[in-house]
Structure 1
Amino acid sequence: MLARRAYIPDELLPSEATDSWPWPLTVPCVAQLAEEGMTFERPITFLVGENGSGKSTLVEAFAEAWGLDARGGRAGRKYVNDRPKTPLGELLRWETTSAGVRHKSGARTKRRGYFLRAETAFGFMEAVSGMRGYWEEDTSEMSHGEGFLTVLSTMFREPGFYLMDEPEAALSFKSCLRLVSLLHDLGESGAQVICATHSPILAATPGADIIEVGDDGFRRTKWADLELVDHWRRYMNNPTAYLRYITEE
C-alpha cells in the first residue's frame, strides 16, 4: 500500500455553511470526503456508481494530488499542462504509508504509475505511441480494445500507483477478464490501484475493496450488495421486465 487516506485539510475548506460551498464540494461524495476523508484499506479499490455520482471527479483529483496529469499518462512524466488543476485536485492531499513516501520522494523518472482515463485515452495513445517510456506498438493500427490492453499490459506491470477511470469502455467480456487478472497480479505485487467503473466483472476482482458512490455520499459494500450487480442480474434473467418500460407507449 502506498496511500492510506485522501482528505482535504481544514484550512483549505470554505468557512461558510455546507449549502454555500462551491462545486464540486456540493457533490455528495466530495462533501463526505471533505468532512471525513476517504480511507483505502486494500491494494485494489473500486469506486462504483451511476453517471453523475462523482466517481470520475474523485479519481481525477486523486491523480492530480499524486502528481499525475488529470488527462492521463504515466508517473514520472513532467507535469506539463496548460490548464490549472481541477478544483478538487487543488484541495486534495494524501496520507501515505512509508512506501508511499519513498515512492513520491524518489527520482521522478523512476516513479511507477499511470492514470488511464477512458475519455482521453485514445488521443493520448496516438500522441505517445513509440515514445520512450511508453509502448513500442502502434496502437493506431489496433482496435480500441486491443489498444487499451496494450497500454494496460505495458504500463500496469510493476509496483506503483495506478488509477483508472472506466477502463472497461473499450473492452469485451473476455478482455475485462484479462484486466481482472492483471489487476489481481498488480495487487499481489505491492502496487495500489484505484479504479472507477460501471463493470460488475471488474468489481468482482478477488480481494478488492468496493466503495459505492451515490446520492448519499459513499460507503463500503460487498459485490453481491451493489445496486449495479442487482440490476445486471435482474436484467439478464428477464430483460423484458426493464425493456417494456422504455419500448411501450
Structure 2
Amino acid sequence: MNDLLNPYFLRELQISPESHHDRLTYPFNIAAIRNLKTLKFHPKVTYIVGENGMGKSTLLEAIAIASGFNPEGGTRNFQFATRETHSNLHERIRLIRGGAKPRDGFFFRAESYYNVASYIDTLDEEGGFGPPLKNSYGGKSLHEQSHGESFFSAFLNRFGGYGLYILDEPEAALSPIRQMSMLARIHELVKSRSQLIISTHSPILMAYPDSIIYQLSEQGIDKVRLEETDHYVVMKQFMNHKESMLSELFDEE
C-alpha cells in the first residue's frame, strides 16, 4: 500500500495486557473496553458506535490524547483545561502509526466545544499570535454563530486536509440535511488524504462506504455493516412502522 496515496496515520490500537486485570475500576469496568485488546483503524474512516454508556467517548478520548490532542478538544496546540474529567485509558494504550505524518489535525467533541470556542476568543483577545484564530473558523467568533453553524464552520473551514480528525458526536447540533453535508465534507477530506475516526449515533454519518464500523455493546466490540447497527435498525423500524411503534411506546391497545 502506497502511504503517499493512502496516509494511514494510525494503523492500530493496542491495550497493555496488565490493564485487563483492573476489571473493577473505570474505564475497565465497561464491558467493551474490558474485553478490548486490539483495534485496527481504517485508512480512511473508522466509526465507533453503540448505545449510551458503552464507552464510545471514553475510547475516542483516549485515542485523541494518545495522539497528542487536548482532552477537551481542538488542535494539538490547544493548551487549556476547564475541568480534568478524562480517564487514564490513554496511559494504557499504544497507537501503532503508519508511515505518513499528518500535517493537520483536530479533536472535536460536542460536549466541550463551547470551551474550545471560548479558548479561541480568549487567544484572539490577547492577540500577538498573528491573524485572529477565528479567521480559520469562518471569520467570526464561534459564539456568534448558532450551535449547528459553529460546528459546521469548524468542519468546513478549519479542517485543511492531509490530517487526522477525531470526531466525537459531530452530528449533535446538525440537522439531517447538515448531516448529509457533513458526509460530503468527510468525502472531501478523504480525497485530500485525511484519516477520520468518528463516534456517532447518526446512521447518515455512518453511511460513508469506504470505512469500518465498530459497534460497542455489553458483549464487546464487533465489526458490523451499517444495516446491522442498532441505530439503523431502530430508525428504519420506526420510520416504516411508526403507528405501531408509537402505540407500543404509549402503551395503547
TM-score interval for Structure 1 and Structure 2 normalised by the shorter chain: 0.7 to 0.9
TM-score (norm 1): 0.86
Distance of 2:14 and 2:222 partners within structure 1: 16
Q: Which residue of 1 aligns with 2:249?
A: 246
Q: Which amino acid in the other structure matches residue 151 of structure 2?
A: F
**1:73-112 alignment runs, 5 A limit:** 73-75=74-76, 77=77, 79-81=79-81, 83=84, 86-99=87-100, 102-103=101-102, 111-112=103-104
How many residue pairs were aligned?
233
- Are residue 153 (structure 1) and residue 159 (structure 2) matched? no
Structure 1 residue matching 2:162: 3-state secondary structure: coil
Unaligned runs of 5+ in 2: 1-7, 125-131
List per-residue Cα deviations over 1:27-74 (Å, max 9, x = no partner).
1221222xx211113310111111111111110111001010121111
Q: Deviations over 1:172-228 (max 9, x none)?
A: 111101110111121222211100000000000121211111111111111122221
Match of 2:13 among 6, 23, 43: 6
Deviation at 1:241? 2.6
Deviates more, 1:57-66 or 1:204-213: 204-213
Measured in 1, the distance between the counterparts of 2:68 and 2:97 equals 14
Contact 1:67-1:79 within 8 A present in 2 as well: no
Is the 1:203–1:223 contact (alpha carbons within 8 Å) kept by the matching residues of 2?
yes
Which residue in 1 is equivalent to 2:119?
A: 127
Asked whether 1:218 is paired with 2:221, we answer yes
Taking the aligned partners of 2:233 and 2:239, their CA distance within structure 1 comes to: 10
Give the structure with the higher percent helix: 1
Q: Which amino acid aligns with 1:152?
A: F
Deviation digits for residues 10-43 of structure 1 (CA, Å, limit 9, x no counterpart): 3x526x4x6x44211121221222xx21111331
Which of 160, 165, 178 is residue 162 of structure 1 equivalent to? 165
Task: Return the TM-score normalized by structure 2.
Answer: 0.84
Residues 1:118 and 1:78: Cα distance change in structure 2 (over 3 Å): closer
Task: Describe the SS at the equivalent of 1:7.
Answer: strand
Identity of matched residues, %: 30
- Contact 2:9 / 2:43 at 8 angstroms: preserved in 1? no
Residue in structure 2 matching 1:116, options 85, 104, 108: 108
Give the secondary structure class of the aligned counterpart of 1:53: coil
Which of these residues, 171, 180, 183, is aligned with residue 180 of structure 1? 183
Contact kept? 2:26, 2:87, Cα under 8 Å: no
Q: From the superposition, tell whether residues 64 and 236 of structure 1 become closer, same or farther in structure 2 (CA, over 3 Å).
A: same
| Cα distance in 1 for residues equivalent to 2:167 and 2:152 | 13
Alpha-carbon shift at residue 84 of structure 1 (Å): 7.7
Partner residue, 2:66:
65
Look up the match of 1:228: 231
In 2, are the aligned partners of 1:113 and 1:155 still within 8 Å (CA)?
Answer: no
Tell me if the contact between 1:68 and 1:79 (Cα under 8 Å) persists in the aligned partners: no
Report the 3-state secondary structure (helix = DSSP H, G, I; strand = E; otherwise coil) of the residue aligned with 2:222.
strand
RMSD: 2.1
Worse overlay, 185-194 or 63-72: 185-194
Please tell me whether the aligned partners of residues 65 and 90 of structure 1 are also in contact (alpha carbons under 8 angstroms): yes
Shift of 1:153: 0.8
